[in-house]
């Protein structure tokens, strides 16, 4: 599939490049110290950090992947946005940010150092830093492969231009520049994908016509007629839906362990909230982000569903075929862009795609340079230097972070298996982490040894359970079952959810046991502001207007999500 661009489309793309660099340029003057560069000087209003929060998560894999899942699984994909994000975002805003923000920690690993000890911080900081480098590499690789396929652009040129622009605007304006551009990118993603969703839905004849057209898709795969358009009705058994999961695995694995583990502890997103100008603004950051998050299925998942509902054109299915002969679901968005967008709007649509890749990559780079500078360099390599020294190191980390990302992109291009393996290892490291934070924040008896060995055991148990389990269609190896395929799951997703549940439970139980067996390493005074029972309650915000009261906004967001789930049950 090829898309040809006109002059006006190129103009749109170049104007975008000029603006993102311009934003960095305009912020250059305010980069005076390392905190300006790496933490945005804690000076941004809630609407900016809130939109950046959601934008940093809207990376490459997200936009392409969610549309692909919409095509593959239907509206059930929305669980990744509803149960798999909103409750955790509300929990972060209401219960966790008072400790993150109030402790003055500059990063999530630094919070672990304050709350527990050095080894727990080190474990988290090193694994996180490695992960961000590879994520930005995978993001770049995905963008360059897609542009090469769609537009016939050169792979190397795509990597060089996307890496170069992100590097330039972060180097100029630091985290503020990344955050400002994420808001710009968010607006562009909406501006590019909203007309696409509208045209596609209009063409297919509206929501009820789409429901009717997806009935044969469901029955052809052997499922009940409404499977593609009902999100809860087919979760009774893993055999009844294309995701191959049942409600317990979904609610616990995705809704609790994976979701809270990502949204509440991943520094990539938490960093946006920490850049807010007050505790109240920090708490409202994920709540503001939750509003677009709950509506994004309309922009990303519904177009994917339409892509499988559209009739074949001249004997060819609407979606192009992948190498193995099945429809290439990852092409849902590009195929719709090519079908509906005339020159002009096509430029906006492609810019939206490029913007989503850049925001995801910039999020990784800014999280990496902060963790490297504060948690690794300042803590272990060169403590006690001047702030100017750390500012220079932050800038240098931005450069080598991007360069390492480029190297990772070429690694991904050359050895697909290495990337699969790495992502697996990251999943093992991430799975248990929320148990550590939960116990750390709400149980003052949790000790440093408890946290560290709980995390370690959780990670190892994830790897072990992976070795004991296997998706039904796979052979033992990278997909699992390398010890013995004791537990067979209907799908890889179902397997992943249970790996997360096992890792979390192991970490939780072991952290409690080891903590009870070891003496406390922090006094009550040291834990002031870090643990729930030892922190004064947030002052009442009764005098503020309703939209500035986090608890009220949080409740509204949750109610709206429940309503959406009922509407699309």
Partner 1 sequence: MSFDLRIAIGGLFTVYGTLLSLYGLLGDKSQYSRSLGLNVNLLWGMVLLAFGLCMLLIRRRVRKS
Compute the least distance from the CB of residue 21 to partner 1, in Å: 11
Q: Give whichever of 187 and 407 is closer to partner 1, judged by the CB atom.
A: 187
What the block records as the tokens of 144 is 């360059």
* Binding of partner 1 by 343 (CB under 8 A): yes
Out of 33, 195, 225, 320, the only residue in the binding site for partner 1 (CB under 8 A) is: 195
CB of residue 49 to partner 1, shortest distance in Å? 11
Using CB under 8 A as the binding rule, whether residue 176 contacts partner 1 is answered as: yes
Residue (51 or 108) nearer to partner 1, CB: 51
Is residue 288 part of the contact set for partner 1 (CB under 8 A)?
no
Find how far residue 50's CA is from the centre of its chain. Answer: 14
Stretch that binds partner 1, among 107-115, 186-194, 509-517, 558-566 (CB under 8 A): 186-194
CA dist 500 and 434 (Å) reads 10
Site for partner 1 in 365-384 (CB under 8 A): none
Minimum distance, C-beta of residue 331 to partner 1, in the bound complex (Å): 17
Least Å distance between CB 70 and partner 1?
Answer: 21
Contact 246, 236 (CB under 8 A): yes
- Binding of residue 337 to partner 1 (CB under 8 A): no
**184 forms part of the interface with partner 1 (CB under 8 A):** yes
48 part of the interface to partner 1, by CB under 8 A = yes
Which of 79, 56, 385, 88 lies closest to 233, judged by CA? 79
Tokens 């979701």 label which residue?
A: 259
Minimum gap (Å) between residue 193 Cβ and partner 1: 12
Task: Determine the 3-state secondary structure of 45 from DSSP.
Answer: coil
Q: Segment contacting partner 1 (CB under 8 A): 56-64, 154-162, 177-185, 278-286?
A: 177-185
Tell me the C-alpha distance between 404 and 397, whole Å.
10
Whether the CB-CB separation of 13 and 162 falls below 8 Å is answered with: no
Segment interacting with partner 1 (CB under 8 A) among 198-206, 278-286, 412-420, 438-446: 198-206
Measuring CA to CA, how many Å separate 415 from each of 21, 138, 141, 410, 420?
Answer: 33, 12, 12, 8, 9
Q: Which lies closer to partner 1 via its Cβ, residue 116 or residue 357? A: 357
The alpha carbon of 214 is separated from its chain's Cα centroid by a whole number of angstroms, namely 29
Of the candidate residues 5, 13, 197, 199, the single one contacting partner 1 (CB under 8 A)? 199
Binding status of residue 42 toward partner 1 by CB under 8 A: no
184 or 268, CB closer to partner 1? 184
Q: Using an 8 Å Cβ cutoff, are 346 and 9 in contact? A: yes
Q: Does 169 bind partner 1 (CB under 8 A)?
A: no
| Range in contact with partner 1 (rule: CB under 8 A) among 184-192, 415-423, 468-476, 495-503 | 184-192
Work out how close the CB of 342 gets to partner 1 at its nearest, in angstroms, rounded to a whole number.
Answer: 4
Burial zone of 218 (CB within 10 Å; 0-12 exposed, 13-18 middle, 19+ buried): buried
Cβ proximity to partner 1, 15 vs 381, nearer residue:
15
What's the rounded Cα separation, in Å, for the pair 187 and 99? 31
Q: Is 197 in the site for partner 1 (CB under 8 A)?
A: no
For the purposes of burial, counting CB atoms within 10 Å of the CB of 540, is it exposed (0-12), middle (13-18) or buried (19 or more)? exposed
Q: Which residue has the tokens 């770049």?
A: 140
Of the ranges 262-270, 334-342, 538-546, 557-565, which one interacts with partner 1 (CB under 8 A)? 334-342
Query: Can you count the helices (H) and strands (E) in the chain?
Result: 23, 2
Residue 567 three-state SS? helix
380 touches 409 (CB < 8 A): no
Cross-strand bridge partners of residue 136: none
Only one of the segments 15-23, 62-70, 287-295, 462-470 lies at the binding site for partner 1 (rule: CB under 8 A); that segment is 15-23
Asked if 16 is part of the footprint of partner 1 (rule: CB under 8 A), the reply reads: yes
Give the residue from 9, 273, 334 showing the smallest Cα distance to 147: 334
Q: Is 167 in the site for partner 1 (CB under 8 A)?
A: no
> Residue 43, interface with partner 1 (CB under 8 A)?
yes
Contact with partner 1 (CB under 8 A): which of 151, 191, 411, 558? 191
Are 56 and 360 contacting, i.e. CB atoms less than 8 angstroms apart?
A: yes
C-beta closer to partner 1: residue 200 or 493: 200
**Helix-helix angle 387-414:416-430, to 10 degrees:** 130
Q: How far apart are CA 552 and CA 512, in angstroms?
A: 33
Can residue 27 be called a binding residue for partner 1 (CB under 8 A)? yes
Is residue 139 within 8 A of residue 59, CB to CB? The reply is: yes
Out of 96, 168, 178, 183, point to the residue binding partner 1 (CB under 8 A).
Answer: 183
Contacts with partner 1, 241-280, as mask; x by CB under 8 A = ----------------------------------------
- Of 178 and 502, nearer to partner 1 (C-beta) is 178
3-state helix, strand, coil in the chain (%, to 5): 75, 0, 25
163 touches 182 (CB < 8 A): no
Is 202 a residue that touches partner 1 (CB under 8 A)?
yes
CA distance 13 to 181: 15
Interaction of residue 5 with partner 1, rule CB under 8 A: no
Q: Which residues bind partner 1 (CB under 8 A)?
A: 8, 11-12, 15-16, 19, 22-23, 26-27, 29-30, 41, 43-44, 48, 176, 180, 183-184, 187-188, 191, 195, 199, 202-203, 339-345, 348
């Amino acid at each position: 599939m090829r898309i040809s661009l006109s002059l006006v489309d190129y103009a749109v793309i170049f104007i975008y490049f000029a603006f993102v660099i311009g934003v960095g340029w305009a912020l250059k003057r305010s980069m005076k110290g390392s905190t300006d560069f790496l933490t945005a000087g804690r000076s941004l209003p809630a609407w900016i950090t809130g939109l950046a929060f959601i934008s940093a998560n809207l990376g490459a894999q997200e936009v392409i992947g969610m549309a692909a899942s919409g095509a593959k699984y239907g509206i059930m994909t929305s669980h990744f946005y509803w149960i798999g994000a909103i409750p955790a975002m509300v929990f972060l805003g209401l219960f966790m940010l008072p400790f993150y923000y109030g402790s003055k920690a500059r990063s999530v690993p630094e919070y672990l150092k304050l709350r527990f000890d050095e080894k727990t911080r080190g474990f988290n900081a090193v694994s996180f830093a490695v992960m961000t480098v590879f994520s930005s590499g995978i993001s770049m690789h995905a963008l360059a492969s897609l542009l090469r396929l769609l537009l016939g652009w050169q792979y190397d040129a795509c990597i060089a231009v996307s890496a170069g622009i992100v590097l330039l605007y972060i180097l100029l304006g630091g985290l503020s520049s990344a955050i400002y551009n994420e808001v710009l990118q968010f607006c562009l993603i909406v501006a590019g994908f909203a007309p696409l969703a509208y045209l596609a839905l209009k063409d297919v004849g509206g929501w009820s016509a789409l429901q009717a057209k997806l009935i044969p898709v469901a029955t052809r795969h052997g499922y009940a007629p409404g499977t593609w358009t009902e999100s809860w009705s087919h979760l009774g058994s893993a055999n009844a839906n294309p995701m191959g999961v049942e409600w317990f695995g979904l609610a616990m694995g995705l809704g609790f362990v994976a979701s809270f583990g990502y949204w509440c502890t991943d520094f990539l997103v938490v960093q946006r909230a920490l850049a807010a100008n007050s505790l109240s603004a920090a708490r409202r950051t994920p709540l503001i982000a939750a509003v677009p998050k709950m509506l994004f299925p309309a922009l990303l998942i519904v177009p994917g569903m339409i892509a499988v509902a559209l009739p074949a054109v001249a004997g060819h299915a609407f979606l192009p075929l992948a190498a193995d002969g099945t429809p290439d679901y990852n092409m849902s968005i590009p195929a719709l862009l090519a079908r509906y967008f005339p020159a002009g709007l096509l430029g906006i649509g492609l810019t939206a795609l490029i913007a989503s890749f850049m925001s995801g990559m910039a999020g990784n780079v800014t999280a990496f340079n902060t963790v490297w500078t504060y948690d690794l360099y300042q803590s272990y390599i060169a403590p006690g230097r001047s702030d100017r020294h750390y500012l220079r190191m932050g800038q240098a980390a931005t450069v080598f972070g991007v360069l390492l990302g480029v190297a990772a992109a070429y690694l991904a291009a050359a050895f697909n298996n290495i990337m699969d393996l790495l992502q697996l290892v990251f999943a093992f490291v991430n799975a248990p982490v929320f148990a550590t934070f939960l116990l750390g924040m709400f149980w003052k008896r949790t000790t440093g040894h408890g946290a560290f060995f709980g995390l370690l055991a959780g990670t190892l148990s994830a790897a072990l359970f992976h070795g004991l389990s296997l998706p039904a269609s796979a052979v033992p190896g990278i997909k699992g079952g390398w010890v013995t395929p004791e537990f067979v799951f209907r799908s890889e997703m179902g397997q992943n959810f249970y790996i997360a549940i096992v890792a979390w439970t192991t970490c939780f139980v072991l952290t409690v046991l080891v903590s009870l067996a070891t003496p406390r390493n922090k006094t009550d005074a040291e834990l002031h502001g870090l643990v729930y029972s030892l922190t004064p309650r947030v002052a009442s915000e009764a005098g503020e207007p309703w939209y500035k009261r986090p608890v009220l906004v949080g409740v509204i967001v949750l109610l709206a999500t429940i309503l959406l789930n009922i509407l699309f049950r």
